[in-house]
Amino acid sequence: MEFPRHKLYQRIAATIADAIEAGRYQPGARLPGERDLAEEYKVSRPTIREAMIALEMRGLIEVRHGSGLYVTRRNAPLRDVRELDTDVGAFELTEARIIVEGEAVALAAMSMDDAKLAELESILRDMAAEEPSEPGVMDADRRFHLAIASATENEALRMLVELLWDLRTRSPLCVTMFERAKRSGVTPRIDEHRPILEALRNRDPAGARAAMRSHLRGVIDDLLAATEHEVMARARSEIDERRSTVARRIEI
């Protein structure tokens, strides 16, 4: 079934929801692994991960510690899965930022003036003064990227970059993914902003583009590691619980 107006992860989530409703996956059944699903649906593992998180958020599936993903019910809320116009995933959003902000920073390098460089330097100082987990770091991070977009002197680009940042806090799936990453210890990559600023200071479009793309690819790596870490942490917790149970039973 095709859903051309919807995002890729939503189409995959809706297709799996259809399979649940049709009885392919019964309540209590374990879903295939992430790699197997990616191969079956011919998509990337990050897309499968976003689809699984979306289905979990809507109560169709659940994570069982150290075991995998299981179907919880068949009456799938398909409308919720398919009709979320602003619900984009963190991988999808960051991929768009790589494309848009990579070119924006290259353009900004050609028109960057000393006043804008001083503003960026001040924002980096604000960022460094905050604890990595504090909201002030995220605010400074946003201001840094929007200041670069403003320096392009292209209002359409500035608005597009601002929209991508707004989606980060408006999209339920995106918010959920970044919150999980934060719980896993992932914080903004403060040090990676310095090479971006240095390339801008040198009026080096290619260097600025490379630094921005490297920074945002690192964000994707962090998200992948964080979601994998969450699964592994659950598994370790389950193993510890089982060990404690066995130890108590042995003492009887």
Tell whether 72 and 104 lie within a shared domain.
no
Tell whether 102 and 190 lie within a shared domain.
yes
Range(s) of the domain holding residue 21: 8-82
pLDDT of residue 133: 65
Tell whether 98 and 15 lie within a shared domain.
no
Say how many C-beta atoms besides its own lie within 10 A of residue 242's C-beta. Answer: 12
Between 237 and 209, the higher pLDDT residue: 209
Tell whether 218 and 97 lie within a shared domain.
yes
Structure tokens at 169: 């806090």
Between 156 and 88, the higher pLDDT residue: 156
Residue 204 exposed, middle or buried by CB count within 10 Å (0-12, 13-18, 19+):
middle
Q: Is residue 78 in a domain?
A: yes
Between 79 and 51, the higher pLDDT residue: 51
pLDDT, tens digit (0-9, with 9 covering 90-100), for 5-42: 567 888 888 898 888 888 888 888 888 888 899 999 99
Residue 146 and residue 164: Cα distance in Å, rounded? 10
Q: Determine the 3-state secondary structure of 115 from DSSP.
A: helix
Tell whether 114 and 36 lie within a shared domain.
no
Tell whether 217 and 179 lie within a shared domain.
yes
Number of compact structural domains in the chain: 2
CATH of the domain at 165: 1.20.120.530
Q: Is residue 243 in a domain?
A: no
Residue 140 and residue 125: Cα distance in Å, rounded? 9
Between 179 and 214, the higher pLDDT residue: 214
Structure tokens at 41: 């649906």
Q: Is residue 69 in a domain?
A: yes
Say how many C-beta atoms besides its own lie within 10 A of residue 211's C-beta. Answer: 22
Tell whether 94 and 78 lie within a shared domain.
no
| Arithmetic mean of pLDDT, 196-204 | 97
Banded pLDDT at 155 (limits 50, 70, 90)? very high
Residue 183, pLDDT above cutoff 50 = yes
pTM across the whole model: 0.66
Among 108, 143, 109, CA closest to 123: 143
Among 161, 157, 173, CA closest to 49: 173
Banded pLDDT at 195 (limits 50, 70, 90)? very high
pLDDT of residue 222: 84
Up-side HSE of residue 108: CA atoms within 13 Å toward CB? 34
Tell whether 148 and 95 lie within a shared domain.
yes
Tell whether 69 and 126 lie within a shared domain.
no
pLDDT, tens digit (0-9, with 9 covering 90-100), for 105-142: 999 999 999 999 999 999 999 988 877 667 788 899 99
